[in-house]
């Protein structure tokens, strides 16, 4: 896939938006409530699967090399391999899934399915890594890192669902 200058700018812009959204947070342990997942949802809806994936891959790569783009201005490989890194690693795949459902059909029920499926993937990857790194059981990891976030993440899905297509339709972005 060859990316135009416009495509590269859009991917970088959504990586930056995700970095900014991750700083909008309510600090709780082990991971704060942030708006970064909303940015991941919107990148998939607006940019489509390939560019959404690339935008989130850029975000993760920037954080991995030390840019303070993760929640609470964290960065570095330790954030990726640490207890909550599985959630971050899921972001490119989430954008890919959402983008697929967004660009393959204007059917908003399919998009809602894609958004929920991507969240389940994020929770699964994050929970497994949390469990492995800390040695806590899967059920305890779910109680700590999923249950407190479900309602908030469903609200973010609703927000992305409502505004994602509106933005996508107003901005001329050729999906490929």
Give the model confidence (pLDDT) of 115-170 as tens digits: 999 999 999 999 999 999 999 999 999 999 999 999 999 999 999 999 998 888 77
Residue 175, domain member (yes or no):
no
Dist CA 133 CA 116 (whole Å): 26
Identify the CATH number of the domain in which residue 66 sits: 1.10.1760.20
Q: How many domains does the chain have?
A: 1
Q: Would the pTM of this model clear 0.75, i.e. be above it?
A: yes
Q: Could you give the angle at the alpha carbon of 95 between the alpha carbons of 16 and 171, nearest 5°?
A: 65
What percentage of the chain carries pLDDT values higher than 70?
93
Residue 156, domain extent? 5-169
Residue 25, domain member (yes or no):
yes
Element (H, E) at 57: helix 36-64
pLDDT at 28: 73
Mean pLDDT rounded to a whole number for the chain: 92
Question: For residue 104, what pLDDT band results from cuts at 50, 70 and 90?
Answer: low
Residue 88, domain member (yes or no):
yes
């Amino acid at each position: 896939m060859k990316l135009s200058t416009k495509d590269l700018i859009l991917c970088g812009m959504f990586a930056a938006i995700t970095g900014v959204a991750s700083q909008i947070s309510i600090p709780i342990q082990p991971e704060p409530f942030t708006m970064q997942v909303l940015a991941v949802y919107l990148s998939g809806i607006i940019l489509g699967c390939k560019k959404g994936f690339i935008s989130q891959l850029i975000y993760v790569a920037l954080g991995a090399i030390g840019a303070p783009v993760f929640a609470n201005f964290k960065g570095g490989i330790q954030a990726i391999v640490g207890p909550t890194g599985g959630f971050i690693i899921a972001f490119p795949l989430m954008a890919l899934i959402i983008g697929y459902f967004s660009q393959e059909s204007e059917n908003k029920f399919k998009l809602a399915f894609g958004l929920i499926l991507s969240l389940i993937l994020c929770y699964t990857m994050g929970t497994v890594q949390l469990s492995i790194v800390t040695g806590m059981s899967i059920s305890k990891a779910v109680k700590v890192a999923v249950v407190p976030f479900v309602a908030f993440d469903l609200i973010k899905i609703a927000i992305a669902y409502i505004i994602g297509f509106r933005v996508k339709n107003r901005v001329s972005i050729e999906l490929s």
